[in-house]
Amino acid sequence: MTETLGAAAGGRVRLNIGEVLDLLRPDFPGVTIPKIRFLEDKGLVKPERTPAGYRKFSHDDVERLRYVLRMQRDHYLPLRVIGDHLDAIDRGMAPPPIEPVVPTVPTVSLSADGTPSAESFLRHDNVRLSRKELLKIAEITEEQLAQLEQFGLVTARPGTGHFDTDALVIATTARELSEFGLEPRHLRAFKTSADREVGLVEQVVAPQMRGRDASARGQAEETISEIAALSVRLHATLVKAGLRAR
């Protein structure tokens, strides 16, 4: 990647944003034109502009986008850190080494005090677990999973029947709580509380989410992650403080 970005572009071939999307999608199926525009707004890629204002991307621009998308997908790096990597590459330096990726279920990114960080809410992985795999990895029974589904705590992805990382974390946590006598029916209060917090966050970002501008929607996603992390921190601290006061 360093050599690719540092090398001179071969020829003067320039691609429009649709052609760039076609090149990226085989490796990054979830990439969209608004996503590319958002990365441009963040300064991570700087395509040329025609007199009419159309974007024209070089092959180096495409490789730069591949780097950003790969760092997000495989290493869950925030854009700020990826930007630092690209800045180092632009200045002829090597980016910091990254730990090898191994095929394992991703862990939730935690902050120093043990609560999820904002970056963990931005993370989108492609983990797809079958029902049998979820039962095995979470170490729960079919009956326990059925109860978690009954009370709306765990749901399969619509149309696929697969479960994602969030479902795995919820199932595993529910199993650990069951060791203290807490059954899925007791956990409905957590779901109700979470739904209320989600509603509050949605109210805050609703104006941004209605906008068609890619930058505004990207900013809305970052706002959601920040508020969500702060909400979880507040909730956890209130529970801790309440228990200490007894």
Model pTM above 0.85: no
Report the pLDDT value the prediction gives residue 110, as an integer from 0 to 100. Answer: 61
Assigned CATH class of 2-90: mainly alpha
Which residue bears the tokens 């930007």? 83
Q: How far apart are CA 93 and CA 95, in angstroms?
A: 6
Structure tokens at 41: 């707004």
Structure tokens at 239: 């529970």
Contact between 134 and 168 under an 8 Å Cβ cutoff? The reply is yes
Domain locations in the chain as residue ranges: 2-90, 118-244
Report the pLDDT value the prediction gives residue 18, as an integer from 0 to 100. Answer: 92
Three-state secondary structure of 66-78: HHHHHHHHHHCCC
AA identity, residue 245: A
> 53-78 pLDDT, tens per residue?
889 999 999 999 999 999 988 887 88
Report the pLDDT value the prediction gives residue 4, as an integer from 0 to 100. Answer: 44
Listed as ranges, residues in the chain with pLDDT below 50 are: 2-11, 102-103
Q: How far apart are CA 186 and CA 163, in angstroms?
A: 22
Contact between 244 and 236 under an 8 Å Cβ cutoff? The reply is no
Backbone angles phi, psi at 15, to 5 degrees: -115, 145
Equal CATH topology for 2-90 and 118-244:
yes
AA identity, residue 219: Q
Nearest 5°: CA angle at 13, between 7 and 19?
110
Assigned CATH class of 118-244: mainly alpha
